[in-house]
Structure 1
């Protein structure tokens, strides 16, 4: 047992697909071969998810502390926070109650990791509208983790197969994102990207930095951010011994990374990095009208604890139907295990 990291997995918004995809993953043999997983959430909601999925061979083990977990396939250990009134909960709908619960699960799992009770945290999706209704004014998980761990320099990493992307900015308007492209921030993200690749086992990472403007500004013709901010950051990173290329035009850099030119791409803003990841990771089957794959993982870098997450939202339209795809959660748990083992080695 001691050679397996303990992974705390938040249930996500109780009205979302989170409980269902969590139950699906806990029914897979590999998860117990690689880690000791425990859900942070509500036992009653997880029990309802088992009923929706028809998994009558599985049972819920509500616990008050991690020490009470049995870590055995067929049993889902749930650190039961008892925050959801099942008579009120409506699957697929935004509510203050669900938002409050989802926020408290995240708060709890961060505390467990900071105290050393678990080795990694993995998060299911929360709904930003719901947590704001509950009075928690954050734009997402990343900002919650940064504040609760007192982390100043952090970034989001998205990964699917060999495509890895980090961001200079994320949950801000596009207009504000352009203003945030500054040398010091770009350099910080390059450094974080370099260290992340090393943690993932890439000994000598090759880093691409995307341009902000079309054609990377075309020598100032389409904007000066590359000349004034991005190129100086790249030059300083190279002088510190990092292997960095750019600014690479954003319309080609991701195809090059997929082709093996680069180990990781520094994107300038949220959608510049998210769109290519989701184009390759989210596969919709038009004939069968369902998602064949919803793959990829979201990792927060720069934290004192390990945090990996699904790379999709709450999917309220699928909640309660038992059809949600669990692949992204599997990916997130696998990355959480990998990073936890690296952290334990260090």
Structure 2
């Protein structure tokens, strides 16, 4: 890539800065061309935490152009937020939430302007984001904040730029019809329009990455996909009609399938090629539990539907181990690799 990848530092009280420092320490070639958007003091503390045997240097950059002159294993940071010298590890803080959000906004705008190839976001804490103040407390998470930045950049209504979350690893991909809603609200969000829109977004995104139309399996909402209406009618009245409409548009969509077995059919394992390229899940936990069970350390979150490239690790801030030096950078590195792959395909 000729343009850098931006890595937002995430919540300073969590493991985000630590896994960034470990990624630069352990895989300098993979992290070449990556620039951290964050707080220099926080990254220096993380570098000291991961020192083996010496802490990596952390350089304050004046601009993205300065990153090209950095040597390997040097962490280049664009200072785009302000924090006290010592944010306590493992404690929800509105200051940390605000700083994390400011970094996300700056990085998103840089990607939208074409100054960076994409962004990889370290984990944020949703309570901290909610405590960040009126500029950010209306956003449940990364996805909604990035959607708001994209529509503002394009000057279009929010309804014209729908987004979806895809969780993926080497074995399984799943896309969610709804994201951060209560279960009651998520069930209500399973509508003909929402599902058809999800199928269209998934088809466009995966067609670009796979080089062909994806085989999309649609999970049911109810046990046994409703069992012919015995356990619920949504499969008959909403889900099946949306699948039929997608197929009429030429999309390769099948289902609805029983939620407790469809993920096994879409899993790619040695000696068992997948039947489907992706599962469309009706709500957050239905889709995320199977992917995370296969290994959080390799999972990647990809935002679909936006005119900016964003990936992230498939885990949270891990406040329980923040500051201990025990965090695993594998998922962050997987997110960087996927961002590079997607950026290359977009350029091609």
1:287 equivalent in structure 2: none
Contact 2:81 2:102 in 1 (8 A): no
1:14 counterpart = 2:23:
no
Q: RMSD in angstroms over aligned alpha carbons?
A: 1.4
- Structure 1 residue ranges, 4+ long, deviating more than 4 angstroms after superposition: none
Superposed CA deviations along residues 177-218 of structure 1, whole A, max 9, x for unmatched, are 111111111011111111222222242311100000111111
- For residue 218 of structure 1, give the secondary structure of its aligned residue in structure 2: helix
Aligned residues: 329
Q: State the SS of the aligned residue for 2:259.
A: coil
Return the alpha-carbon distance in structure 1 between the equivalents of residues 140 and 81 of structure 2. 25
Structure 2 counterpart of 1:181: 190
Task: Report the TM-score when normalising by structure 2.
Answer: 0.91
Residues 2-21 of structure 1: per-residue CA shift (max 9 Å, x gap): x4441000000011111110
Query: Residue 215 of structure 1 aligns to a residue in which SS?
Result: helix
Larger strand proportion, structure 1 or 2?
Answer: 1
Q: Kindly provide the CA deviation profile for residues 214-253 of structure 1, in whole angstroms up to 9, marking residues without a partner as x.
A: 1111121111111111111111111111111100110000
Q: Residues 300-329 of structure 1, C-alpha deviation per residue, up to 9 Å, x if partnerless?
A: 100010010111110011111111011110
1:323: which partner in 2? 326
8 A contact 1:209–1:266 mirrored in 2: yes
What residue number does 1:205 align with? Answer: 214
- Whether the 8 Å CA contact 1:114–1:305 is kept in 2: the answer is yes
Contact 1:36–1:71 (8 Å) recurs in 2 = no
Supply the distance in 2 between the matched residues of 1:106 and 1:180 (Cα, whole angstroms): 27
**Offset of residue 29 of structure 1:** 3.2
CA deviations 1:89-140 (Å, max 9, x no partner) are 1111111211111111111111111111101011001111111111122111
Match of 1:80 in 2: 79
SS at structure 1 position matched to 2:119:
strand
Residue of structure 1 in register with 2:146 after alignment: 145
Residue of structure 1 equivalent to 2:28 = 29
Indicate which of 155, 168, 171 corresponds to 1:162: 171
Secondary structure, aligned partner of 1:304: coil
How far residue 272 of structure 1 moved from its aligned partner, in angstroms, is: 0.3
Confirm or deny: 8 A CA contact 1:205 1:263 kept in the other structure: yes
| Distance in 2 of aligned mates of 1:57 and 1:84 | 21
For structure 1, list consecutive stretches of 5 or more residues without a partner in the other structure. Answer: 283-293
**Equivalent in 244, 257, 261 of residue 266 of structure 2:** 257
Question: Are 1:245 and 2:254 an aligned pair?
Answer: yes
Q: CA deviation at 1:57?
A: 5.4
Please show how residues 120-139 of structure 1 align to structure 2 within 5 Å. 120-135=118-133, 136-137=136-137, 138-139=139-140
Give 1:270's aligned residue.
284
The residue that corresponds to 1:304 in the other structure is: 307
Offset of 1:82 from its aligned partner?
4.8
SS of 1:325's partner is coil
